A and B are shown apart, each in its own frame.
Chain A
Amino acid sequence: MARARRLERKPAVAVAVTVVFFAWLYLPILTVALFSFNDQKSLSAFSGFSLRWYDDFFHNDALLESLAASLGIALVSAVGALVLGTMLALGLERVRSRRGRVIGAITLLPLVTPEIVTGVAALLVFTGVGLKLSLGTVILAEITFSIAYVTVIVRGRLANIPLEVEEAARDLGCTPLQSLRLVTLPALVPALLASGLLVFALVFDDFVLAFFTTGVDPQPLPVRIYSSIRFGVSPAINAVGTLMLALSALLIVAALLLPRLFNRKSSSLDLITGGERR
Chain B
Amino acid sequence: MNTPAVSLRGLTKVFAGATVVDDLDLDVSSGEFFSLLGPSGCGKTTTLRIIAGFSDPTSGSVLVGGEDVTSTPPHKRDVNTVFQSYALFEHLDVRRNVGFGLRRKGIDRADIDRRVAEMLELVELGARGKDRPSELSGGQRQRVALARALINRPKVLLLDEPLAALDLKLRHAMQAELKSIQREVGITFLFVTHDQDEALSMSDRVAIMNGGVIEQCGTPEDVYENPTSVFAAEFIGTSNLMTGAYAAGAVTVAADLKLPIPGHTGSTDGDQICVAIRPEKIWMSDFTPAMVQTPGTIVSTSYHGSTTQYLVSVGTGVTISVLEQNLPRMRADNRWEPGDRVDIGWLPEHAVVLT
Residue ranges of A at the interface with B (Cβ–Cβ < 8 Å)? 162, 164-165, 167-175, 178, 183, 186-187, 189, 265, 267, 269, 276, 278
* Candidates A164, A168, A269; contact of B91 at CB < 8 Å: A269
Q: Given known contacts A172-B100, A175-B75, A265-B132, is B90 in contact with A167 (CB within 8 Å)?
A: no
What are 18 of the A-B contact pairs (CB < 8 Å)? A164-B87, A165-B88, A167-B87, A168-B89, A169-B89, A171-B74, A171-B80, A171-B81, A172-B100, A172-B149, A173-B75, A173-B101, A173-B152, A186-B89, A186-B91, A267-B93, A269-B91, A278-B109
Contact count A vs B, C-beta below 8 Å? 71
Chain B residues 77 to 121 lying within 8 A of chain A, measured CB to CB, are 79-81, 83-85, 87-93, 96, 100-101, 103-105, 109
Chain B residue at smallest Cβ distance from A188: B91
State whether A168 touches B83 (Cβ < 8 A).
yes
State whether B80 touches A276 (Cβ < 8 A).
no
In Å, the complex CA distance between A258 and B75 comes to 33
Residues of B within 8 Å of A267, CB to CB, are 93
Q: How large is the interface on B (under 10, 10 to 19, 20 to 34, 35 or more residues)?
A: 20 to 34
CB of B141 within 8 Å of the partner chain: no
In Å, the complex CA distance between A183 and B80 comes to 17
In Å, the complex CA distance between A278 and B100 comes to 11
Q: Given known contacts A174-B75, A187-B91, A269-B91, is B83 in contact with A167 (CB within 8 Å)?
A: yes
CB of B143 within 8 Å of the partner chain: no
CB of B52 within 8 Å of the partner chain: yes
Q: Given known contacts A164-B83, A168-B83, A168-B87, is B54 in contact with A173 (CB within 8 Å)?
A: no
CB of B194 within 8 Å of the partner chain: no
In Å, the complex CA distance between A186 and B85 comes to 19
Given contacts A173-B105, A265-B93, 13 further A-B contacts (CB under 8 A): A168-B81, A168-B148, A170-B53, A171-B54, A171-B75, A171-B80, A171-B81, A172-B100, A172-B104, A172-B149, A174-B75, A175-B75, A276-B103
In Å, the complex CA distance between A140 and B188 comes to 56
Closest Cβ of chain A to B136, distance in Å, is: 13
Chain A residue at smallest Cβ distance from B83: A164
Closest Cβ of chain B to A26, distance in Å, is: 38
Closest Cβ of chain A to B100, distance in Å, is: 5
Residue ranges of B at the interface with A (Cβ–Cβ < 8 Å)? 52-54, 73-75, 79-81, 83-85, 87-93, 96, 100-101, 103-105, 109, 131-132, 135, 148-149, 152
Residues of A within 8 Å of B53, CB to CB, are 170
State whether A183 touches B89 (Cβ < 8 A).
yes
Chain B residue at smallest Cβ distance from A179: B75
Closest Cβ of chain B to A157, distance in Å, is: 12
Centre residue among A162, A164, A172, A269 by max chain B CB count within 10 A: A172
In Å, the complex CA distance between A171 and B75 comes to 5
State whether B104 touches A162 (Cβ < 8 A).
no
State whether B91 touches A165 (Cβ < 8 A).
no
In Å, the complex CA distance between A265 and B74 comes to 31
Chain A residue at smallest Cβ distance from B80: A171
Chain A residue at smallest Cβ distance from B132: A265
State whether B74 touches A170 (Cβ < 8 A).
yes
In Å, the complex CA distance between A194 and B74 comes to 33
Closest Cβ of chain B to A3, distance in Å, is: 23
In Å, the complex CA distance between A102 and B34 comes to 45
In Å, the complex CA distance between A165 and B148 comes to 13
Residues of B within 8 Å of A170, CB to CB, are 53-54, 73-75
State whether A164 touches B85 (Cβ < 8 A).
yes
Q: Given known contacts A162-B85, A164-B83, A276-B96, is B52 in contact with A171 (CB within 8 Å)?
A: yes
In Å, the complex CA distance between A173 and B79 comes to 10
State whether B80 touches A172 (Cβ < 8 A).
yes
Residues of B within 8 Å of A171, CB to CB, are 52, 54, 74-75, 79-81, 149
Centre residue among B52, B103, B109 by max chain A CB count within 10 A: B103
Chain A residue at smallest Cβ distance from B92: A276
